[in-house]
Chains A and B, each alone.
Chain A
């Protein structure tokens, strides 16, 4: 039984009032709130156990190292990776993508090569590739989208050319909520031996992900979007790929032996973890993932889907509202426009009614240009949201609409 009341009581911030009434937090796509147990473990480690990892023989360091490595193990299991060495800690999705774009570019991309990017991408999954393409003289190509906010795969075969070196796309669109057919795309790419990076920043908090089943070559996400701390993120890479990528950053912990003549690098995954990582964040992330799994990702998906359909139905009954992103396959994100109103106007007014939504382009400007709009109002839900909150949200929209006429 999915007990949302009990779940809500695990998240202290959900009790707070912003102006007049309890916060309605519908901005989970930007970041999620943290359950108290995550906050507790961060505090406990700073108060009682803090010591830098991997570097000392003393007790505290060993404790932190063990907890850090235990987190890696949990992540491996959470996303279904074959080996724990395939899990690299980064600061977040953005850094994970930059790491792959840089190191993959150094190793495999040459002038005239092509990088294939989906049209739905977050700027974090566009700009690092552009930087690499500029450096290497490579060309960016895109997988087009349709009016429903889905990728159009009709020409995929043609887009995957002899020159295509890598394909990169989101698992779930942050702006529209579309769940992309990544497995199908990966299969097509692999037929031509082209690797695929999947940006899972908006997926791992909503549904069960299995990187081996998807056969993803790289899979990345951020801790803070899956109820964990900020500043910690994950790069999964198949061992054979990670082995063949050069390091992204140099420093301590990523080396075997340093001399001024030649330095040899540490084995995976430490090769990519130069310097002191956010190890306490990593320890917090484990607690967050354990928490999510204690509720169960299937239960979460089912409940969130119910919430989304409930919200979409209510919004569809309002004449002034147009939903962007109408695919059959969606996570719990609903983006919309309100006739005669700029998204920022709507967000400003809803804010005063204690509702937190995001407005604007959601770091997906190409996508907004496709629709020819300056942005949308985006309600991105999490499993701690409720139908009562949606009722209040819809009621508030109905209150705001006449102000624009």
Chain B
């Protein structure tokens, strides 16, 4: 399995093939369509992250001491970005995730989607993903 660093580099490379932003978004939308469904029991208000415009649900399980995320969103671009985050963050140890540097978001030019008002729940979502990791870390006594 690639390291966090390598996976991010791969994503940057894949997306930066496209010059046109519409193509980049098309690619992100295709990723959204491939994101595995979140378990229905986790698509409830309890798992809802209060973003600005779209809804985001996220759950994490600890499997063999690695964090396994599932998520969904009612906005497909948001969901595609989640798919990217999950690709980078899934099946890592809680310690790795707690202070992960998600540099790829900036490198693919999605940073403007991270400004508070356009966040579509993304900032909140990254925070929540890290919080899950922190909770697992504490639980494991790492």
Binding site for B on A (CB under 8 A): 19, 341-345, 348-349, 352-353, 359-360, 374-375, 399, 403-404
Contacts and interface: CB of A to CB of B under 8 A. Distances in A.
A306 B120 CA distance: 34
B55 A403 contact: no
Contacts of A375: 53
Given A341-B76, A348-B113, A359 B53 contact: yes
Contacts of B55: 374
A360 B76 contact: no
The 3 closest A-B pairs by CB, nearest first: A342-B75, A352-B21, A344-B53
Contacts of A399: 22
A360 B52 contact: yes
Given A359-B53, A360-B52, A374 B21 contact: no
Interface of B: 21-22, 25-26, 29, 52-55, 74-78, 113, 118, 120
B25 A344 contact: no
A311 to B, nearest CB: 22
Nearest to A343: B53
Contacts of B78: 342, 344-345
Nearest to A375: B53
Contacts of A359: 53
Given A374-B55, A403-B29, A404-B29, A349 B22 contact: yes
Contacts of A345: 75-78
Nearest to A348: B77
A123 B135 CA distance: 37
A404 B74 CA distance: 12
A348 B113 CA distance: 9
Nearest to A374: B74
A404 B113 CA distance: 19
Contacts of A349: 22, 25, 77
Nearest to A360: B53
A352 B78 CA distance: 16
Contacts of B118: 348
Given A344-B53, A359-B53, A360-B53, A404 B76 contact: yes
B109 to A, nearest CB: 10
B26 A403 contact: yes
Contacts of A348: 25, 77, 113, 118
A341 B53 CA distance: 13
A352 B75 CA distance: 17
A343 B75 CA distance: 8
A352 B22 contact: yes
B31 to A, nearest CB: 13
Contacts of A360: 52-53
Contacts of B75: 342, 344-345
A344 B51 CA distance: 12
Contacts of A342: 53-54, 74-76, 78
A195 B136 CA distance: 59
A345 B77 CA distance: 6
Contacts of B74: 342, 374
B53 A19 contact: no
A403 B26 CA distance: 6
A353 B25 CA distance: 12
A378 to B, nearest CB: 13
A187 to B, nearest CB: 39
